[in-house]
Amino acid sequence: MDLYIWKYWDAEERTGSFKWLNYPIAASHHLTNALLAGEKSCKVSVAGRQFLVDFVTMSQQNLDTRIERPIMITGRLKKGIRWDRAFRKSDAFEEWEEFLRERLVISTVTLLRLENIDESTVHAILILVTRITRDFKIANTFLEHEGIQALMKLSGVAVPAVAQLVTLIVRHCLDDEVAVGQIFEKAILLFRIPQTTRDWLHAIRVLAPLCAREPEIFLITMERVARRQKDEITVLPMGPTDPHFRTWAAQSPIKQVIVVSLVTN
């Protein structure tokens, strides 16, 4: 990047309407330097008001009123840098995914089946499984190797947040492309409820958790049900549901998880 532009979400003094406002040049430079230096937060002054900017949550808090507003950053790529190359999966990443499916998942299930395993190890394994099963293929591999059965045998283990971690893992095993696509479609269509801002960047910020869950499905769904017009989000009229999302897969993971739960209980 050779240019960083910082904005904050606030009411414009002249009209009173909320919009993205540019930080003053000095404050913008200060934010850029703090971010590139690895700071988690920094203080800036805007129109005589002091704000604490949090880079983790991408928000700013007025130090006097304690009112918190979102912030954002846009940038310009250096000449010669291409988006498709910058975000293309490398061969090393593909090899890592294969390693996760073929070796790591099986190893974690094997460890969870062991008796007298210490609680710290169980906790670490559950955190790892929660992380890697966000991938549909890895979650399916975990399910095929009886990972759910191994989880069901952990009842009574005094591990911090065990209920939340197991719930997330089961949730990941329930998900597939069809289910996630349906959830994303409904969330995007419901976004434009009365009194909700139509600002495009604000909408993308609100819908960001969907993109974090599964970027490709989010992109496909957004292209099908929403449009960007004059920097505002417009939801297209409801049409026939995509046949791919309407047709439930014959090998739906929900069926497998339910069967496993009934057999285990």
Task: Give residue-wise pLDDT tens across range 35-84.
Answer: 999 999 999 999 899 999 999 999 999 999 999 999 999 887 778 777 66
Write the secondary structure of 172-218 as one string of H (helix), E (strand) and C (coil): HHHCCHHHHHHHHHHHHHHHCCCCCCCEHHHHHHHCHHHHHHCHHHH
SS3 content of the chain, % helix, strand, coil (to 5): 50, 20, 30
Q: First and final CA of the chain: distance in angstroms?
A: 55
Burial classification of residue 150, based on how many CB atoms lie within 10 Å of its CB (0-12 exposed, 13-18 middle, 19 or more buried): buried
Written as one letter, the residue type at 208 is: A
137-158 residue pLDDT tens: 889 889 889 899 898 887 767 7
Residues contacting 257, CB < 8 A, separation 6+ = 143, 148, 170, 173, 174
Residues contacting 211, CB < 8 A, separation 6+ = 204, 218, 219
- CA separation (Å) from 224 to 71, 125, 175, 216, 227? 28, 38, 21, 13, 8
Find residue 233's DSSP bridge partners: 228
Cα 122 to the center of its chain, rounded Å: 25
Residue 62: in which H helix or E strand, if any? strand 59-62
Residues of the chain with pLDDT under 50: 249-250, 262
Strand, coil or helix: 38? coil
Can you give the pLDDT at residue 196?
61
Query: 112 and 147 in contact (C-beta within 8 Å)?
Result: yes
Find residue 199's DSSP bridge partners: 232
Strand, coil or helix: 239? coil
Q: Take residue 186 and report the two structure tokens written for it.
A: 């409904």
d(CA 92, CA 143): 25
